[in-house]
Chain A
Amino acid sequence: MRNRAQATTAFQGGIRGYEPTVDPISSIFPPQTRVRVGVPRSKWIIDLKDRFDEITSLPRGWDGYDGRPVTFNTAQFAANLIERLFIAGVPTPNVVPGTDGTVQIEWHRNQYDIELDVLGPYEIVAFRRDQRTGDEQELELQTDFTALVGWIDGLSAEQQQEARSM
């Protein structure tokens, strides 16, 4: 709740002189007393929080060449994407920084690969490969990730199949 309020006070910080009865953070707090508090919701984000802090703190040239750190905005967008796609029971993806400041979100499981290349906010190249059938699919996405839900479900199905065969 606190996070949501902070997100909206951007546009409400100028309002003065009223006091909400239910959520005092949404309006009455003076801006200088607001505190940044992270409230990660899914297991994936909890697992990846340190990783995100790490990839946004990389020094320039972190790869031994001219590698750039992941920008705050790109990291936030990638985290938003991960949180949106979360399905309980599906393993946490790997998050890999690109040398050009991009972020790759990857699942590799039972010969089934999903790679989401976050080039920046609203710039995603998504790739899926089923090594057993040879099926491949690539999508360029901006705001709507509905198509990816089926892909992630595929990982979940793989997991169920694996569990049944054990």
Chain B
Amino acid sequence: MQRPHDLPDFSNPPLDEVVLGVQFAPVPKYSSVASREVWGLFKNAFPIVEEHLLLSPQFETFGGANPLPDLSSFLEQPPVGTRLWFLSQDLNHLIQFQPDRFITNWRRTANPLPYPRFETIADSFEKNLLLLAEHFKAAFNYQVEINQAEVTYINLIPVGEFAEAGRWFSICNSGSGDVEAIRNNFVQVVTDGGGKPYARFVTEIESVFLLPARKKAFKMSLAFKGKPEASDIPSAIEFLRDGRERIVKQFCDITTAEAHESWGRRA
């Protein structure tokens, strides 16, 4: 995958985590005993395993009187099982797997290293997803049918005071008073050329305290999620690529020129 030449670029972006993920129809007849074979696909690069709660299915739908229904956990009896984390030795790279999800995370906080860039992360994600799909085909005669994809960028911006928001964000002006906390969220519906909605863009800015010293910072999450045009892997990758471009442009649109300079904007 090649970086678009007209996409804004930064030498030192405040990026803390990049997440690419897909959701697919659950693998029929999959059970926990098969998870060892799944780990075996990635074990060399991801030797550390953790278990976590299953993620509830997410669906981006549109229209209706309630704009943002969220019933992600309203049923009493969720499916039995676990979400597995496969971690790289340096803890910067993570694969999350459950019978209807495949996610990869790059994280700066675990072990500060240069950001490997989206193209590297996306190429690795695609390679690993293809590996998983081949395994499902061979072991379960199951063709992966992707119904949801998401790309999320999470930025952490250390600050002296939360009242500095206007210095970093062009959409925030907290005035001159002492600011205890900030939260600014908005959701945009993304439509195709025919005006048909197919994705959501979620922007969240909030004040946080960095541990362990409790230093003040802003956390800015930019998430693009929805249903790819088709259920195959190339369509999902195209959806993620599109989402990444939108995220970078949104990042530039809602942050200030002064902030861009401090992050080393190159284009």
Contact = CB atoms under 8 A, between A and B. Distances in A.
A143 B62 contact: yes
B116 interface: no
Contacts of B63: 84, 144-149
Interface stretch (B75-83, B129-137, B238-246, B254-262): B75-83
A15 B17 CA distance: 7
Task: Among B55, B61, B76, B154, find the residue whose CB has the most chain A CB atoms closer than 10 A.
Answer: B61
Contacts, number: 192
Interface residues of A, number: 61
Given A11-B105, A12-B17, 4 more contacts: A17-B109, A20-B206, A23-B206, A148-B63
Interface string B72-94: 11111111000000000000001
Interface in A71-119: 71-73, 75-77, 79-81, 83-87
B266 interface: no
A55 B137 CA distance: 30
A81 B71 CA distance: 10
Interface in A138-162: 142-149
A7 B19 CA distance: 14
A150 B210 CA distance: 49
B219 A14 contact: no
Interface string A23-38: 1000100011010111
A19 interface: yes
Interface of B: 16-17, 19, 21, 25-26, 52-53, 55-66, 69-79, 94, 96, 100-101, 103, 105, 107, 109-110, 147, 150, 152, 154, 156, 180-181, 183, 196-198, 202, 206-212, 214, 217, 219, 221, 223, 226-227
A49 B74 CA distance: 8
A11 B211 contact: no
Contacts of A145: 61-64
A131 interface: no
A81 B103 contact: no
A82 to B, nearest CB: 8
A7 B60 contact: no
Interface in A60-76: 71-73, 75-76
A31 B52 contact: yes
A134 B98 CA distance: 48
A166 interface: no
B21 A11 contact: yes
A41 B69 contact: yes
B4 to A, nearest CB: 23
Given A10-B21, A122-B147, A148-B64, A19 B71 contact: no
A3 B206 contact: no
A92 to B, nearest CB: 15
Nearest to A81: B61
Given A10-B103, A76-B57, A146-B63, A15 B16 contact: yes
Contact of B25 (A14, A57, A120): A120
A38 B210 contact: no
28 contacts: A3-B70, A3-B71, A3-B72, A4-B70, A6-B73, A8-B223, A10-B21, A11-B21, A13-B52, A14-B94, A15-B107, A16-B107, A18-B219, A20-B207, A20-B209, A21-B180, A22-B207, A34-B53, A37-B73, A41-B66, A49-B76, A52-B74, A52-B75, A73-B100, A77-B59, A79-B74, A83-B69, A84-B65
Contacts of A4: 70
Nearest to A33: B53
Contact of B208 (A20, A75, A143): A20
Closest 3 A/B residue pairs (Cβ): A146-B63, A84-B64, A83-B69
Nearest to B198: A143
A47 interface: no
Contacts of A136: none
A121 B16 CA distance: 32
A20 to B, nearest CB: 5
A93 to B, nearest CB: 13
